[in-house]
Structure 1
């Protein structure tokens, strides 16, 4: 028997008053943020960074998803991987392209491999090599380089929360993946 979650996603009826304004926005839509709501001050501080990393980044939707998927893969975060399989499909990525993100760099599209190499370097050696920095700047510009680093850090924090708390995948994502199983 497994232990019950110590920090399960907070339902609407128990949502903290000090972040009531976040419940009907991004925070109330995903179990990861409902779990993070156990620390209302963290979730409140998280909101502006989330706006930049998730929405206002210089990477564009697909390269952002590649960054997140490779981060989720490196963290062995089932929630992050499955959540972003759904999002990657929504921005036009095929299951084959998504699946390649888990594999060797040589099996990926060149742009995806550039991003994945950066993610791997951040996990492995804790910095980007000069060659990877040059490749990223050529692909996404200087702001994009910083956005890759920030995205890896942002989603690593989320992955640590998800993995530590055993946060369940959101019901709508589970249902979508059951209806359209991932084939990558």
Structure 2
């Protein structure tokens, strides 16, 4: 996957935003709760998920923990999100999290490597441990003993679990948005291009 292909922008959105008059009372309540939280509104994966408001709210709570409360360092979290977006060919998540990854300190060389499907070079020991956990989880559906032991030694058990949950959570969001054909966000013209 290369970020934001023309093909993704041309596919029809199967589950576009619902108009206010189309919302059930349960959906209205879910919209109010999400809008009152750190996200501020219903967007991205929560648009199609609103068709199942209870699932949406439970997922949103998990995502809020991962993004705003987890002790996992932000650079490792955002690297995991980009890896998941790439592996799941999910352009909304890639484009939404790309500026967040840059702001969290994920090196441009790492971003370019992930975007190109290659293993980044020059990773710190913690980044390398996190990278291997996510890649093995997504590609092999398991993590080797050596990768697990290295991640726990470097990151701790909780961060290793949160890293794995991050890959699973963003895989779920990717599957929903790929089903719905959620369009990627419009690119920010002020953002630096990949590799630049």
Q: Same fold (TM over 0.5)?
A: yes
Structure 1 position 125, deviation (Å):
2.0
What secondary structure sits across from 1:105 in the alignment?
Answer: coil
Aligned to 1:145: 160
- The residue aligned with 2:3 is none
- Gap runs ≥5 in structure 1: none
Change over 3 Å in CA distance of 1:60–1:39 after alignment to 2: same
Q: CA deviation at 1:65?
A: 0.5
CA offsets, 1:106-161, max 9 Å, x none? 52413333222211211222111111111111221000111111111100000111
Task: Tell whether the 8 Å contact from 1:9 to 1:31 is kept in structure 2 after alignment.
Answer: no
Taking the aligned partners of 2:62 and 2:54, their CA distance within structure 1 comes to 14
User: Which of 181, 186, 190 lines up with 1:179 in the alignment?
Assistant: 190
Matching of residues 154-165 of structure 1 within 5 Å: 154-165=169-180
| Structure with more contact order per residue of length (Cα contacts < 8 Å, sep ≥ 6) | 2
1:56-90 Cα shifts (integer Å, max 9, x gaps): 22311100001111111111111111111111122
Distance in structure 2 (CA, Å) of the matches to 1:11 and 1:151: 31
The 1:106/1:5 distance shift into structure 2, 3 A limit, reads: closer
Q: Which runs of 5+ in 2 are unaligned?
A: 1-9
- Which secondary structure state, in structure 1, belongs to the residue aligned with residue 156 of structure 2? helix
2-structure distance, mates of 1:29, 1:17: 11
Distance 1:11 1:108 in 2: 48
Does 1:23 pair with 2:38?
no
Q: 1:163 to 1:141 in 2, by over 3 A?
A: same
Q: Look up the match of 1:66.
A: 79
Assess if the C-alpha contact under 8 Å between 1:33 and 1:43 holds in 2. Answer: yes
RMSD across aligned positions (CA) = 2.3
Comparing both structures, which one devotes a greater share of its residues to helix?
Answer: 1
Partner Cα distance (1:38, 1:27) in 2: 19
Q: Distance in 2 between matches of 1:12 and 1:169?
A: 23
TM-superposed CA distance for 1:181, in Å, is 4.2
